[in-house]
Amino acid sequence: MRITMVGTGYVGLVSGACFSDFGHEVICVDKDPSKIALLENGVMPIFEPGLEQLVARNVQAGRLSFTTDIAAGVTNAEAVFIGVGTPTRRGDGHADLSYVFAAAQEIAAALEAQSVGASDLLLVTKSTVPVGTGDEVERIVRQAAPNRVIRVASNPEFLREGAAIEDFKRPDRVVCGTDDGIARGMLSQVYRPLSLNQSAPVLFTGRRTAELIKYAANAFLATKISFINEIADLCEATGADVQEVSRGIGLDNRIGRKFLHAGPGYGGSCFPKDTLALLKTAEDYQSPLRIVEAVVAVNDSRKRAMGRKVIAAMGGEARGKVVTILGLTFKPNTDDMRDSPAIAIIQALQDAGATIRACDPEGMQQAAKMLTDVAFVEDPYEAVTDADVVVIVTEWDAYRALDLSRMAKTMRTLLMVDLRNVYAMDEVNSAGLTYVGIGKRDSALSTH
Ligand code: UDX
């Protein structure tokens, strides 16, 4: 099938490249000429494991190409996917849909300008958009292209950064929202490689249902995280161990083990933005989501609370102390710093007078744009020299098996605060360091 992807951000680029790997003929369109120039030279504008090879393979096979010209991009397309950003609108928390609407308008206008009698088009929103956006997209394209048949569907993505290609090719499910029989048939064709080897159920729903599934999924996952984070606090207060609690409840299949790792709070480009946008929808429809409200509030307060936890571990005083932060990105295997807990943690520590040194395998460049007065250091061993505490904020593999004895030799105060519970207390203690984890019996230090 001939597919065009509008937007070569995270979602657009990964989806476009994966569609071409399925065997479809794909054109990726982006307004930003510098991005297209990079892609044409085989350079990825984002860090995602395996993406560069995937793009190179499909470009070489002649199935994947890039352009800045939307009209040229959609000319021969059978299906056009919109994969542009939907950031949080400034001031009110609503999703900013201006890029989605502008893309719909441009696609329809380009089609309308082409010869009458050309074939129908399937227009699919992949971007995360609030319930009812498909209706508005349909209105826009009807107005801009009254002589063309454009079928509008919703096909939300569920890609995790760092595992996006795997998630695309081996998803738990694919959700396609449209009541139109022809659109359903075309979407079945698009995802045929997945149904052929029965690797994923393709779920057909109404368009509004598909739009809501995406938000409900993210809000539920965020709920699991805020839930286990509050349980972690209770573990610290009561002398229980959150990792054991998590395992103990997660082995119940009705609960499931995933997304029950206590930590410094969720971040990234999706959970914080999507939970807020869902709350706005709930407000608009006067149908409150009190659980999601609590999830957001718990997560917001948790990030700075982690800064206070580090200060408490240092005996309640941060002034004059050197804090080494290992891991800045919101999770490993990405360079994404958006809403990363590290930002609020570092700011809380700086406000209390601490000096910050920070390491991250991929995120230092992005972090430097968001933080001030932080010394960025490549090597974790160099970064802990004369430090008063080493704080694990992101569980990069590179920080999972550090030579703790080597660190202990150069640190000023022998203390580790492990906000991801990647180390066992015994091994840290035997290297000579005091250990403070999350939701652990001996880490019952005040965080509030
Ligand atoms: C998420 C969804 O997983 C994906 O389906 C959706 O399309 C986009 O949002 P992503 O933002 O890439 O993907 O990251 P994810 O791996 O889900 O992690 C989100 C945040 O939750 C990270 O900050 C992570 O550290 C945190 N998290 C995750 C926890 O604190 N504990 C957990 O158990 C799991």
How far apart are the two ends of the chain, measured CA to CA in Å? 56
- Residue 259 in any domain: the answer is yes
Indicate whether 230 and 178 sit together in one domain: no
* Three-point CA angle 175, 176, 182, nearest 5°: 155
Residue 210 within a domain: no
Residue nearest to atom 9 of ligand 1 (CA): 270
Q: Of all atoms in ligand 1, which is nearest to the CA of residue 394?
A: 25
Q: Which sign does the torsion angle of CA 156, 158, 161, 167 carry?
A: negative
Residues 180 and 64 in one domain: yes
C-beta of residue 395 within 8 angstroms of C-beta of residue 332: yes
If asked whether residues 258 and 388 sit together in one domain, one would say: yes
- Assess contact for 407 and 384: CB atoms under 8 A: yes
CB of 266 within 6 A of ligand 1: the answer is yes
- The verdict on 169 and 225 lying in the same domain is no
Q: Which amino acid is at 87?
A: P
Burial of 398 (0-12, 13-18, 19+ CB in 10 A): middle
**Beta carbon of 47 within 6 Å of any ligand 1 atom:** no
Residue 79 and residue 72 in contact, taking contact as beta carbons nearer than 8 Å: no
Assess whether the C-beta atom of 161 lies below 6 angstroms from ligand 1.
Answer: yes
- Å from CA of 165 to ligand 1 middle: 15
What is the Å distance from ligand 1's center to 297 Cα? Answer: 17
Q: Tell me the CA–centroid distance for residue 395 and ligand 1, in Å.
A: 13
Cβ atoms within 10 Å, residue 413: 16
Q: Are residues 164 and 190 in the same domain?
A: yes
Q: Are residues 89 and 230 in the same domain?
A: no
Q: What's the number of domains the chain is made of?
A: 2
Query: Using alpha carbons only, how large is the chain's radius of gyration in Å?
Result: 24
Same domain? For 37 and 125 the reply is: yes
Pocket test for ligand 1, best of 86, 174, 225 (most atoms within 8 A of CB): 225
Alpha-carbon span 66 to 108, nearest angstrom: 20
Which of 230, 271, 419 for a ligand 1 pocket mutation test, highest count of atoms within 8 Å of Cβ?
271
> Alpha-carbon dihedral of residues 256, 257, 258, 261, nearest 10 degrees?
140
Tokens matching residue 264: 């410094």
Residues annotated catalytic, as ranges: 270
Contact 147, 112 (CB under 8 A): yes
Q: Which amino acid is at 423?
A: Y
Last residue of a domain, one of 149, 171, 205: 205
Alpha-carbon distances of 105 from 80, 111, 239, rounded to whole Å: 13, 10, 58
- What pLDDT was estimated at residue 116? 60
Q: Are 127 and 7 in contact (CB under 8 A)?
A: yes
Ligand 1 atom with the shortest distance to the CA of 271: 9
Q: Is the pTM of this model over 0.75?
A: yes
Kindly give the confidence (pLDDT) of every residue in the chain, 448 residues in length, as a single tens digit, with 9 standing for 90 and above: 999 999 999 899 999 999 999 999 999 999 999 999 999 999 999 888 999 999 999 999 999 999 999 999 998 999 999 999 988 887 787 889 999 999 999 999 999 988 666 788 999 999 999 999 999 999 999 999 999 999 999 999 999 988 999 999 999 999 999 999 999 999 999 999 988 777 789 999 999 999 999 999 999 999 999 999 999 999 999 999 999 999 999 999 999 999 999 999 999 989 999 999 999 999 999 999 999 999 999 999 999 899 999 999 999 999 999 999 999 999 998 889 999 999 999 999 999 999 999 999 999 999 999 999 999 999 999 999 999 999 999 999 999 999 999 999 999 999 999 999 999 999 999 999 999 999 997 654 433 3
Does the CB atom of residue 267 touch ligand 1 within 6 A?
Answer: yes
CB 419 near ligand 1, within 6 Å: no
- pLDDT at residue 444, as a whole number: 42
Task: Report the separation in Å between the CA atom of 31 and the middle of ligand 1, taken as the mean of its atom positions.
Answer: 29
Pairwise CA distance, residues 155 & 175, whole Å: 6
Q: Is residue 167 domain-shared with residue 308, that is, in the same domain?
A: no
* Domain contains 213: no
Question: Ligand 1 pocket, 270 CB below 6 A?
Answer: yes
Residues 7 and 150 in one domain: yes
Considering 205, 230, 249, which residue would you say is the last residue of a domain? 205
Q: Which residue shows structure tokens 């209706």?
A: 135
Are residues 312 and 192 part of one domain?
A: no
Domain presence at residue 355: yes
237 and 151 share one domain:
no
Residue 82 lies in a domain: yes
Q: Is the CB of 110 under 6 A from ligand 1?
A: no
- For residue 287, being part of any structural domain is answered with yes
- Ligand 1 centroid, distance to 224 Cα (angstroms): 11
**pLDDT at residue 447 in the model:** 39
Q: Which residues pair with 64 in a beta bridge?
A: 26
Domain boundary among 137, 171, 205: 205
**Cβ(263) – ligand 1 distance below 6 Å:** yes
Question: Is 182 in the same domain as 274?
Answer: no
Note down the domain range covering 120. Answer: 2-205
CATH number at residue 280: 3.40.50.720
Give domain status of residue 444, yes or no.
Answer: no
What residues pair up with 28 in beta bridges, in sequence order? Answer: 5, 66
Query: Whose C-alpha lies nearest to ligand 1, atom 34?
Result: 259
Output the 3-class SS for the chain: CEEEEECCCHHHHHHHHHHHHCCCEEEEECCCHHHHHHHHCCCCCCCCCCHHHHHHHHHHCCCEEEECCHHHHHCCCCEEEECCCCCECCCCCCECCHHHHHHHHHHHHHHHHCCCCCCCEEEEECCCCCCCHHHHHHHHHHHHCCCCCEEEEECCCCCCCCCHHHHHHCCCCEEEECCCHHHHHHHHHHCHHHHHCCCCCEEEECHHHHHHHHHHHHHHHHHHHHHHHHHHHHHHHHCCCHHHHHHHHHCCCCCCCCCCCCCCCCCCCCHHHHHHHHHHHHHHCCCCCHHHHHHHHHHHHHHHHHHHHHHHHCCCCCCCCEEEEECCCCCCCCCCCCCCHHHHHHHHHHHCCCEEEEECCCCHHHHHHHCCCEEECCCHHHHCCCCCEEEECCCCHHHCCCCHHHHHHHCCCCEEEECCCCCCHHHHHHCCCEEECCCCHHHCCCCC
Residue 276 lies in a domain: yes
Among protein residues, the one with the nearest Cα to ligand 1's atom 8 is 270
